[in-house]
Amino acid sequence: MSTCSVSKGCFVFKPKSKKRKTSSAADYFSEGNNDSEDSGLRFDTCQLLWKQIKCETEELQDDLNKKLFDSLIRYLRQSHSDFKEKKTEWACRMKSNEVPTAALVLGVNVTDHDLTFKGLSEVLQDEVTPFVVSLRSKECQGIKQLMQKLMTRLMGCHVDVDSSEEEEPSVISPNRIRCSVTFLTDWYRNVTRKTDIGTSCQKGASPSRHWESPPVVVIFKDMESFTTKVLQDFIIISSQCMCEFPLVLIFGIATSPMIIHKLLPHSVSSMLCIELFQSLSCKEHLAKVIDKLILTSQFPFKLGEKVLQVLINIFLYHDFSVQNFIKGFQLSLLEHFYSHPLSVLCCEFQEARKRVKCLSPSQCENIRRLTSFRRFVESQASNKQTVLLTDDSCLKETVQTLLQDLHTYHKNYFPILRCLHAFMSSLPKYPLGKQIRELHCACLEKRVWETEEYESAIQLLLFVCFRMLAKDELVAILEKCVEIIASSSATHLENSAKKLEEYLDQFKKFEEANDDQAETVTSLKEIQKKTDLYHLQKTLLEMKESRRFKKLSKFEMLRFEVVDFIDSLVRNHLVPAEMQTLHEVMYFSTTNTLREHLNAAPRIALHTALNSPYFYLKNEALKSDVGCIPNTAPDICIAYKLHLECGRLINLVDWLEAFSTVIIAAENQNSTIKDQMDDIIHARFIRAVSELEFLGFIKPTKQKTDHVARLTWGNC
């Protein structure tokens, strides 16, 4: 745009109206990605795969909670029946001091409790009562706030409101609610007087599924965090109105049920009729999740040994949170599809074959750069190597075959892994680990049969375990192995399953117990013939020598054959995944990215941000040499770098003078303006020092009034 005018003037050019472009998740997925080819297809594949995984985890969570929720509902039904049986006033007085209370011990994985309480509230509202209220300690600092939260949320359950005077309490504004037991009992009596309580209290709920005179359930999600005075007052108030309406308390406990008696005196805890409920251990829950997501060939995406170990270590040593483990799995999935261009082939085998045929020349070159594929090419004949490196059509055919081999490897790997764990779990001291995830990590790391732990485990199987195991126990292990292989979809293991069934039939038909019994009786008769000590010792030594060099029985020979057969299956099918060609397509092994996102290091991040602000702000003006303080840096960065040059005690006057020198150099002002800016610089310095104190780098000290103490050491 230009203007032609002989006179001076001001020209206004209105910008063209542009519609704001909305960015989708797929756009963010491909934005900033150097390997943007097939990014849309990779994003769709990632979304579809995560949707399937999320569905599996939700089903698993529902199955694990079903037993706990059913037992809670049975307890509620029993307490509700006790309320309905109170016919006389005398019975009401006898029961009035007992408030039904369910102590729900969920474990120290506090971050997973919200999901459990959400599912519990939904089940109770669908099957038991519409009056379910969940409370947190931060919402209830006093008894007044607790009662107001309780009554407000109970009123919110009543959707279909009439204009009659008797139902006026249900439409009162929360700011005008009178927090009293009389008000609560009158409201409950008015609401339950309706014939169709399901329609009036919850939309979409079936009236027949709610109980008659449904109880009011109050859930204390974090019972340990509630103030003792608040709990005491609420329990005393609740015990006074038990004959008016049914009330049930649910305490969410993370530590131990004894916390109830530590927080409440005996006079108050005696008013509670406590029933203990224990949820599934977080370790057992993790084992179920790993079995469902990782130890299966259902999902093509796999975690490498180091990545899986990082997620397990975070779980065991940080939070015990299964949900955080699943989020880490999701992050690994997203990072794999975002960073690896060949992850477009990480899908079902039939779909992967179609995508291989449509690979571009650049994608073919990406395949040739893979370490596993180069190892495969080097093992081929020279003429075959030339064709694979130059001909894309031949490469695609080979890739299809290799992907089929990789899918077959997974179908065979997991059943054999479970069979090996069935044998190893019966060994003393668990040389290959007690959990199957430990055995899986050992198999991913290296050839497990070449480790000392595996050799010691085989020795235990041969010389200790099988001599100690009864025939029934050995038969049970073999039956479990046959069931594992039969339930898998591995067609290549049919012969192995038949072989195990043959061994199983031989064990069932064997009469080793009778032979051992006859041998024992004969030995006892020989010992009883000798009465003196000399002949007795001689006979025992002869029996010991004869057992050392005696020929193995048929039963023992059969046990040795079973061990050899299991060992051959391990060597054939439990090869490490890194030895498989094209394993990079399905396995995510980048642990650095995972650690940066999941293993928080706040001190390092703070030091990097304050010492080198360019690392985060990406402003060219902030670039500086090592050891220099940039003039254009934020105030807190200048104050931080200056405080690194001080000792344990920092003189505030000297610190301010140094700070002012840097600021004046940045402003490039003369002495007159410098005097006018002293107040502004002083205020900026105070703010920077306050921020450093808030971050924990310095603190006030009583040794010298004009000094502050430094809380860090070194340069970080």
Annotate 631-691 with DSSP letters as a single string. Answer: TTS-HHHHHHHHHTTS-SEEEHHHHHHHHHHHHHHHHT--HHHHHHTHHHHHHHHHHHHHH
- How sure is the predictor about 201, in pLDDT bands with cuts at 50, 70 and 90? very low
Q: Which residues contact 495 (CB under 8 A, 6 or more apart)?
A: none
Q: What percent of the chain has pLDDT over 90?
A: 45
591-598 and 322-339 helices, crossing angle to 10°: 130
Contact 682, 661 (CB under 8 A): no
Predicted confidence at residue 445, as pLDDT, reads 92
- How sure is the predictor about 545, in pLDDT bands with cuts at 50, 70 and 90? low
More confident residue, 83 or 583: 583
Q: Which residues contact 560 (CB under 8 A, 6 or more apart)?
A: 462, 552
Q: Beta strand 302-303 with 272-278: parallel, antiparallel or unpaired?
A: unpaired
DSSP annotation of 493 reads: G
Predicted confidence at residue 206, as pLDDT, reads 43
Q: What is the mean pLDDT of the chain?
A: 81
**Does 168 score more than 60 pLDDT?**
no
pLDDT tens, residue by residue, 465-477: 555 566 677 788 8
391 phi/psi in degrees, rounded to 5:
-100, 115
Nearest to 165 by CA among 190, 196, 201: 190
Mean pLDDT: which of 367-381, 486-500, 674-688 is highest?
367-381
Contact 292, 52 (CB under 8 A): no
Predicted confidence at residue 530, as pLDDT, reads 43
Predicted confidence at residue 572, as pLDDT, reads 93
Show the CA angle centred on residue 449, arms to residues 445 and 450, nearest 5°: 80
- How sure is the predictor about 195, in pLDDT bands with cuts at 50, 70 and 90? very low
Distance CA 278, CA 104 (A): 6
- How sure is the predictor about 137, in pLDDT bands with cuts at 50, 70 and 90? very high
Distance CA 321, CA 327 (A): 10
All domains of the chain, ordered by start, with CATH? Answer: 71-280 (3.40.50.300), 348-579 (no CATH), 602-710 (no CATH)
- How sure is the predictor about 560, in pLDDT bands with cuts at 50, 70 and 90? confident
Predicted confidence at residue 639, as pLDDT, reads 92
Predicted confidence at residue 593, as pLDDT, reads 86
Contact 55, 299 (CB under 8 A): no
**Does 172 score more than 50 pLDDT?**
no
More confident residue, 716 or 35: 35
* Residue labelled with tokens 């005996």: 266
**Does 169 score more than 50 pLDDT?**
no
Predicted confidence at residue 714, as pLDDT, reads 64
**Does 485 score more than 60 pLDDT?**
yes
In this structure, of 162-171, 287-296, 644-653, the range with the lowest mean pLDDT score is: 162-171
**Does 140 score more than 60 pLDDT?**
yes
* Residue labelled with tokens 């690392």: 615
Predicted confidence at residue 526, as pLDDT, reads 47
**Does 198 score more than 50 pLDDT?**
no
On the CB side of 651, how many CA atoms lie within 13 Å of its CA?
4
Q: Please report, for residues 162, 165, 214, 356, the alpha-carbon distance to residue 196 in angstroms, rounded to integers and kept in the order given.
A: 14, 19, 12, 61
Distance CA 321, CA 314 (A): 9
635-643 and 678-695 helices, crossing angle to 10°: 70
Distance CA 502, CA 496 (A): 10
Predicted confidence at residue 313, as pLDDT, reads 93
Contact 371, 584 (CB under 8 A): yes
Predicted confidence at residue 155, as pLDDT, reads 79
Work out the average pLDDT over 630-651: 89
Q: Which residues contact 23 (CB under 8 A, 6 or more apart)?
A: 31
pLDDT tens, residue by residue, 521-540: 344 444 444 445 566 556 65
Contact 201, 257 (CB under 8 A): no
